Amino acid sequence: MRPSRSPRPRRAFLTAVTGAAAATAGCALLPEEQEPIEARADRPASLPDAAAAERGYEGTLSTETTVTVSITVDLSGDVQISNTREVIATAFRRGYAAEDGRRFGIVTAPAVAVIEQPEVVRDPIAAVSAARAVELATGASVSSVSDWRSASTRTVLGTEAESETATATADGAAVELERARVRADGDAVTAIAVAPAGVEADPPFGEVTRDA
């Protein structure tokens, strides 16, 4: 006669089941990898030929480019929301230069929603370095950019915007920067002026228009 098997202790059985359930639950809690947000600006902003000529500018840059950045949104309130997404944005670039070293440019990028709240949007250009933003807008290569500081109010595309200024170095010489940023429909428009130190810039922010 074969000896009967001892029944498996109930506690051991429950422990095994509980462990398996915990492992399954742990797998379920792993966050899914989010796909990058791909967006394209609608229409470029630019400086009309007459306005450019009046200020001594000639067009030097008219193209589009792809900007890849990581954007984080943190919202606090009754429910705290935090999300980071990779954004691949196609932006328009329009740049102008004068013989005295002044430059002016506009980069138009799509305003993107990183979280599921359409009213919370971000400008991809705001996520790049100051030097990179200057290069995207004007084509100028600068370094040692100081912190931006509030300066005055500019009107861009019919919208009043806070102007910010900074200093930088270009080709070993000191330059002064000024920028203004506005929303235009579903786009974010950044206009930047560059001028050698001591040269009156008088940047044409108010002359900027959008292509039809």
Classify residue 25: in a domain, yes or no.
Answer: no
Helix (H, G, I), strand (E, B) or coil at 33: coil
- Spatial contact of 133 and 190, defined as CB atoms under 8 Å apart: yes
Classify residue 67: in a domain, yes or no.
Answer: yes
Helix (H, G, I), strand (E, B) or coil at 21: helix
Classify residue 102: in a domain, yes or no.
Answer: yes
Classify residue 2: in a domain, yes or no.
Answer: no
Rounded to two decimals, the pTM is: 0.81
Q: Can you give the residue range of the structural domain that contains 132?
A: 37-210
CB neighbours of residue 73 within 10 Å: 16
Query: What tens digit of pLDDT does each residue of 152-203 get?
Result: 999 999 999 999 999 999 999 999 999 999 999 999 999 999 999 999 888 9
- Residues 48, 109: Cα–Cα separation, whole Å: 19
CATH, residue 171: 3.40.1000
* Domain total of the chain: 1
pLDDT beyond 80 at 6? no
Classify residue 167: in a domain, yes or no.
Answer: yes
**Stated length of the chain:** 212
Classify residue 13: in a domain, yes or no.
Answer: no
Classify residue 18: in a domain, yes or no.
Answer: no
